[in-house]
Amino acid sequence: MRIVIDHVSKSFGKVTALSDVSLEIGDGELFFLLGPSGCGKTTLLRCLGGFEQPTAGRIFFGDEDVTGAPAHERNTAMVFQGYALWPHMTVEENVAFGLEMRRVTGTERARRVDEALARVQISELRNRRPNELSGGQQQRVALARTLVVQPGCLLLDEPLANLDAKLRRDMRREIRSLCKESGLTGIYVTHDRQEALSMADRVAVLKDGVVRQVASPQELYRRPASAFIANFIGETNFLRGKVVAKETGRVLLDVAGVRLEAESCPEAFGIGAEVVLSLRPEALFRTYSAGEGANRLRVTVRETSYLGEIADHIAMSEQGQEIKFFELNPVGVLRSGEAITLGVEARDVVILPEAD
C-alpha cells in the first residue's frame, strides 16, 4: 500500500509536534522515522494509525483520503513497545482476537492463526499465557497478532526497545524479512540509529517536528544534509574550512592551513565559501607518508581505548582541534603523546550542506 503524507501539521495546544510534513512511502517499502526524543515521530505514526487527527494536511492510503477515518476503518496494524497482549488469554487466543473482531471464524480463522504463529516461529507456544513467555517471545506474539489480520500497512513504534541487545539484533533481521516476504509496507519509529541503518529501505530524520532529510541508510550516513544529521547518525569530527578551488570531482579546501581535498561540494558553495566538514573516525587512518599532498593531518595522541576489534583514539591536531579516529584490528598500542599523521580519502571528506 502506497502512503502519501501531504503537508501534515499537528499541534497540541502551544506545542507544535509536526510542522508541514510531506512524505511518500512506496508500496512494500520499509520506511523509518528516526529522530531524538520529542521530534514528533510517534505523533506522525499515530496520525497514520488514526489515533491522532492532524491539525492540517492530508493522509492518503493508496488513492483513498483517510485523514478523518478512525483507526478501526484503516487497513493498518500497530506494534507497540509494550506489546499490549491480553494477559488472561493464551498465545493462540491473543493472535485470534483480531480475527474475531473482524468476524473471521471457523476453519479460516484456525488456518490464519496457524499460519501467523508459524510465520514468527512460536507454534509450540500456542497454549501459554503472556506471563509464561520471554520478552522476545511476547514480541513475536504481538507480531503474529498484527500479521493475522493481513493489514496493508504495519506501524511499528519502537518495537524492540524492551529487548536485550543480542535479541534486538536478531529481531531486526526477522522483522525486515517478515515485511519483505509478505510485501507489507512498514513504517517504523525509532531513536536507535543502528536499527534504522540496518533495517530501513529509506529513513526520514525528524527534528523539532520538521523532516530534515529523507534518504537511504548509506546516503544518510555518507552524505548527511546537515551537521545535526551527521552527528545523530554516527560519530564524527567537524572541521571548519574554506573552499579554495572547485572542479568536477575535485574540491580543494583550506582547513586552518591544512589542505584537504573532497570529491564533491554542494552547489551553493563557491570559491571562498566558509564550510563545515564532517570526517568520520573510521575514515581516518594512520599513515607514514606525510607527503606534500592534501589530506594529511598531523596530530598528537591524547587518549586511547583498546576495545579488542577496534581501538578508539582521541588526538589533538596541530591547529588545536580534537580529532577522534578508530583503528580497526589494532596490533600495536598508540601511546599518549605520540605524534602521528592521519590520512583520509577525498571521498570521505564530506562538505555539509547545512551547518546545523
Q: What is the amino acid identity at position 124?
A: E
State in angstroms the smallest separation of the CB of 8 from ligand ATP: 12
CB 98 within 8 A of CB 149: yes
Would you state the cell numbers that stand for residue 237, as one nine-digit string? 569530527
- CB-wise, 55 or 216, nearer to ligand ATP? 55
Degrees (nearest 5) of the Cα angle 162, 165, 167? 80
What is the C-alpha separation between 278 and 284, in angstroms, rounded? Answer: 11
State in angstroms the smallest separation of the CB of 205 from ligand ATP: 11
- CB-wise, 19 or 321, nearer to ligand ATP? 19
Widest pairwise Cα distance in the chain: 79
CB 82 within 8 A of CB 157: no
Q: What is the amino acid identity at position 218?
A: Q
What is the C-alpha separation between 172 and 135, in angstroms, rounded? Answer: 14
State in angstroms the smallest separation of the CB of 159 from ligand ATP: 13
Among 22, 19, 89, smallest CA distance to 60 is for: 22
- CB-wise, 40 or 151, nearer to ligand ATP? 40
- CB-wise, 139 or 190, nearer to ligand ATP? 190
State in angstroms the smallest separation of the CB of 5 from ligand ATP: 14
State in angstroms the smallest separation of the CB of 345 from ligand ATP: 35
Residues that bind ligand ATP (CB under 6 A): 12, 15, 17, 35, 37-43, 191
